[in-house]
Amino acid sequence: MTDNVHDLTQKRLEAARLEQGLHKDGSAHRAVDHLLEGNVGAAVQELISDLGLPPATPEQMAEHAEAERARHDAELARCARDRRMQALEACGIRLRRQDYAAIAESSYQTTPAVQAVRRWWDETGPGAVLCLHGAPGTGKTFAAATLVAQHGGRGARSKHLARLAKSTWSEHVAELEDLIGFDGLLVVDDVGTEPDIDAAKAALFELIDERQGADGRTILTTNLLLKDGKPGERLIDRVCARTLSRLHGCARFEGFKDQTDMRKAKR
């Protein structure tokens, strides 16, 4: 079978050569042979000789190959940067424009929050839940966005989920169901900032209840304290007891405190 395919390829190649006027003893003919054999360097040398130019030295060939590799690597890097930016712009997570650019370029500091989300991603699988809690400006949303840029995903603010849960419009009901049923990484940002606490509690319970055993992974970010703090500043004051119970059963909690506000540091 392989010989038949090879013979057919050779016949087609000979027909193309005749059509193009490539003689068997010509350098263009030999260059095609070298290309078929995967020997690009030899093909280039044949074409150079056909132009009457002196043959390239090994140093020149090595320099050319290095330049081609550099161009290839630069193109791969550009494609990866564009893919990360497209993922960020489509996900719905709100960041400053310079933060989008830093993530797309992979030119950001590996903060404790970034380290935490990377560990969580590597050590868990479908249905995993991560709760990032701590002071404002410690890079929780930024860290979650780095995973979205790398692996894809969607994002929504918790107060938006609360509005959807409270609404009776069919479009809002469908949007909430679509977010909850999303089978990739879902980031729910700013848990605890919802003006309607009851609607927020209902939305968060439904989300965690449905996603804890599903295919998608979930990240929650909040500025609320996990345990200690004044009433209203604790996670327990903003989520229902059933949600907290499920979180303690399925989620990993990562806290960040006593750190410099990243937003102020970047000014």
The per-residue pLDDT for range 172-231, each reduced to its tens digit, is: 999 999 999 999 999 999 998 888 888 889 999 999 999 988 899 999 999 988 766 665
Average of per-residue pLDDT across 114-140:
94
Other Cβ atoms less than 10 A from the Cβ of 199: the count is 18
- Domain annotation covers residue 37: yes
Domain-embedded: residue 116: yes
Within-domain flag for 68: no
- Tell me, yes or no, whether 131 and 250 share the same domain: yes
CATH number at residue 170: 3.40.50.300
Q: Are residues 144 and 236 in the same domain?
A: yes
> Per the confidence metrics, is the pTM higher than 0.85?
no
Is the same domain home to 129 and 243?
yes
222 and 129, same domain (yes or no): yes
pLDDT value, residue 194 = 85
Residue 75 lies in a domain: no
Task: Give yes or no: residues 50 and 124 share one domain.
Answer: no
Both 51 and 104 in a single domain? no
Asked if residue 71 is part of any domain, the answer here is: no
Do 24 and 114 fall into the same domain?
A: no
pLDDT recorded at residue 51: 57
Instruction: Let me know if residue 157 belongs to a domain.
Output: yes
The reported pLDDT for the residue numbered 214 is: 86
3-state SS string for the chain: CHHHHHHHHHHHHHHHHHHHCCCCCCHHHHHHHHHHCCCHHHHHHHHHHHCCCCCCCHHHHHHHHHHHHHHHHHHHHHHHHHHHHHHHHHHCCCCCHHHHHHHHHCCCCCCHHHHHHHHHHHHCCCCCEEEEEECCCCCHHHHHHHHHHHHCCEEEEHHHHHHHHHCCCHHHHHHHHHHHCCCCCEEEECCCCCCCHHHHHHHHHHHHHHHCCCCCCEEEEECCECCCCCCCCEHHHCCCHHHHHHHHHHEEEEEECCCCCHHHHCC
Q: Are residues 243 and 125 in the same domain?
A: yes
In this structure, are 157 and 238 located in the same domain?
yes
In-domain check, residue 164: yes
The pLDDT tens digits of the residues spanning 42-67 come to 666 666 666 555 666 778 778 877 88
Mean pLDDT of all residues in 131-137: 91
Question: How many domains does the chain contain in total?
Answer: 2
The rounded mean pLDDT for the chain is 81
| 213 assigned to some structural domain | yes
Same domain flag for 43 and 134: no
12 lies in the same domain as 105? no
> What integer is the mean pLDDT of 106-130?
94
Task: Give the pLDDT of residue 212.
Answer: 85
Asked if 150 and 217 sit in the same domain, the reply is: yes
For residue 208, the model assigns a pLDDT of 92
Q: Residue 133 is part of which domain span?
A: 95-265
Residue 132 pLDDT more than 90?
yes
pLDDT band at 22 (very low <50, low <70, confident <90, very high): very low
Q: What is the pLDDT of residue 265?
A: 52
